[in-house]
Amino acid sequence: MRDNLDLSLYLVTDQKLSRGRTHEYIVEQAVRGGVTIVQLREKDVSSRVFYELAKSLMGLLRPLNIPLIINDRLDIALAVEADGLHIGQSDLPYAVARRLMGKDKIIGLSVENLAQAREANELDVDYIGLSPVFSTRTKQDINKPLELSGVKEIIGITKHKTVAIGGMNSLNIESVMKTGVDGIAVVSAIVSQENPQEAAFRLASLIHHEK
C-alpha cells in the first residue's frame, strides 16, 4: 500500500502501437512529459521477452522514482521486484495477489460496474481502474463503456483511489477529471503519437488544470 501514489497520468504500454519505437524510448519520453506511473502490458510476447522488458523498465524508472506496475503477470512482477501489479476481474484473485506481492506493493483492480466497485470496497486495493470509460480500438472485447454517468456513480460509492481508462484523449480528459477521478490511464494517446513527450505534456497540463 502506498499513501503517496500519484495516478495523475498513467501510461499503459502496447508494443503494437509504438510505431517501431522501443518501450524504453516511449516510456522515457512520456515520463519527461509528465507521466506519473507506468504499466507494462504486453499480451503477445513470450515470458522471457516480458521479463527482459520489465527488468529494463525497472532500471529506467526506479532512479526516477516512477512506479512500474506489471499487468496480469504476478510471476514477472515478483521476478523483477516491480512496484506493483494490475489485475482484472478474470485474473488471479485479489487475495492471492496480495498474499504473494506483500503488503507494501501497489495492487490495482479493474472495475467495470457499480456492483464490482462495491465488492472492491471490501478489499485493500491501492486503486481501481474504471474500465472502459469510452469505447476504444486499443483493446478487443471490452465491456459496455461506463460513460461519464457510470464513472460518477462509482466515484459516489468507492473508498478507493480511481483511474479512468479507455478512449481517453486531450478532447475528453477534462470532462473525465471533473467526475472526481484521481487520474487518467492512456495507451494510444501517448504510445502511438509522433511525439510521446509532447503528447504526455499536453495531457498532464489538462489534468493538472482540473485537479
Task: Please give the annotated binding residues, written as ranges.
Answer: 39-43, 71-72, 91, 110, 136-139, 167, 187-188
H-run or E-run covering 136: none
Query: What, of Mg ion, ligand 3NM, ligand LCLJCK34, none, does residue 163 touch, CB below 5 to 8 Å by kind?
Result: ligand LCLJCK34
3-state class (DSSP) for residue 66: coil
Q: Is residue 72 within the footprint of Mg ion (CB under 5 A)?
A: yes
Write the DSSP string, 47-103. Answer: HHHHHHHHHHHHHHHGGGT--EEEES-HHHHHHTT-SEEEE-TTSS-HHHHHHHH-T
Q: Is residue 131 within the footprint of ligand 3NM (CB under 6 A)?
A: yes
Shorter beta-carbon distance to ligand 3NM: residue 62 or 161: 161
Site for ligand 3NM in 177-206 (CB under 6 A): 186-189
Q: Which stretch binds ligand LCLJCK34 (CB under 6 A): 27-35, 45-53, 85-93, 201-209?
A: 85-93
Distances (CA, A) of 116 to 90, 153, 186: 12, 12, 22
The binding site for Mg ion (CB under 5 A) comprises 72, 88, 91
